[in-house]
Amino acid sequence: MTISQSSCQRKDMSNMSFVGLHNTKEGIIGFADSKATITFKDGHHEEDVQRGKIRKIFKNSHFIFVTYGNNELFSAQFKINLEDYIEKYLDENMTYKDFFECLFIKLLYSKPEYSDGIYNFIIGSKDNKGQYLRKLTINTNKETQEYTDKNYEYITICGGDETYREIYTQIPKYWDAPIQEYQNIIQKQISKIVEILDLDYKYNSVGVPINVEIFQ
């Protein structure tokens, strides 16, 4: 097997969740944990047991993406969980530019009351040059949406909990492994990291099950 590059991003301000995309020869593999966390004003974290396990990975026929960090939309009257909004409005034939433009407008009218207003996404798609990955950061306070350049290399981009990013960066990544087999390996690797860090005294912001999807 050929080892590919790993580029777990560390620019995000959020340290919740663990999600990412692998660009491989046969397609894009996405992974995401499913733990919901409540963050209090004093910085204390607790699992949101009422919310239960949540989706952080989504796809349609044109793209796949994962989300981490802030995951609620606010307005004066009500709160919407981000995953509920996505499941309701992500149409099978939408491009990611159209989908995130609609989400951006919604967020501007639903600015958060206590978070930093930053929403993070890692996107995988394809065009006539091939498969690529890129990141999108929406900042409702600055009213901006910023895309990174398309990256067509066989890389891994992940986001969320810094401890997980540091550990996962050390694990070899393979761009030419059979994709069905490799997705199962990725799921088992991350689940094992969760199992180990659950034994620590510090709050573990990542939880099983680890959801994995393939985009081709």
> In whole numbers, what is the pLDDT of the chain averaged over residues?
90
How would residue 76 be classed by pLDDT, with cut points 50, 70 and 90? low
- Which region among 65-79, 116-130, 181-195 has the lowest average model confidence (pLDDT)? 65-79
38 CB neighbour count, 10 Å cutoff: 12
Instruction: Reply yes or no on whether the pLDDT at 57 is more than 80.
Output: yes
- Structural domain harbouring 104: 3-198
Q: Evaluate whether residue 211 is within a structural domain.
A: no
Q: Evaluate whether residue 188 is within a structural domain.
A: yes
Instruction: Reply yes or no on whether the pLDDT at 8 is more than 50.
Output: no
How would residue 13 be classed by pLDDT, with cut points 50, 70 and 90? very low
Q: Evaluate whether residue 212 is within a structural domain.
A: no
CATH of the domain at 72: 3.60.20
How would residue 186 be classed by pLDDT, with cut points 50, 70 and 90? very high
Q: Evaluate whether residue 107 is within a structural domain.
A: yes
Residue 167 tokens, joined: 């550990």
68-90 b/e with 16+ CB inside 10 Å = b? bbbbbbbeeeeeebbbebbeeeb
Q: Evaluate whether residue 114 is within a structural domain.
A: yes
Position 11 scores a pLDDT of 33
Position 14 scores a pLDDT of 64
Average pLDDT over residues 117-134: 97
Position 1 scores a pLDDT of 65
Residue 131 tokens, joined: 């498969």
Q: Evaluate whether residue 183 is within a structural domain.
A: yes
Q: Evaluate whether residue 93 is within a structural domain.
A: yes
Q: Which of 121, 178, 179, 126 is nearest to 152 (CA)?
A: 126
Query: Total domain count for the chain?
Result: 1
User: Is the distance from CB of 24 to CB of 161 less than 8 angstroms?
Assistant: no
Instruction: Reply yes or no on whether the pLDDT at 74 is more than 90.
Output: no
Q: Evaluate whether residue 88 is within a structural domain.
A: yes
Residue 20 tokens, joined: 């990412």
For 135-161, write each residue's pLDDT tens digit: 999 999 899 999 999 999 999 999 999
DSSP track, 33-92: ----EEE-TTS-EEE-TTT-S---EEE-SSEEEEEEE--EEE-SS-EEEHHHHHHHH--T
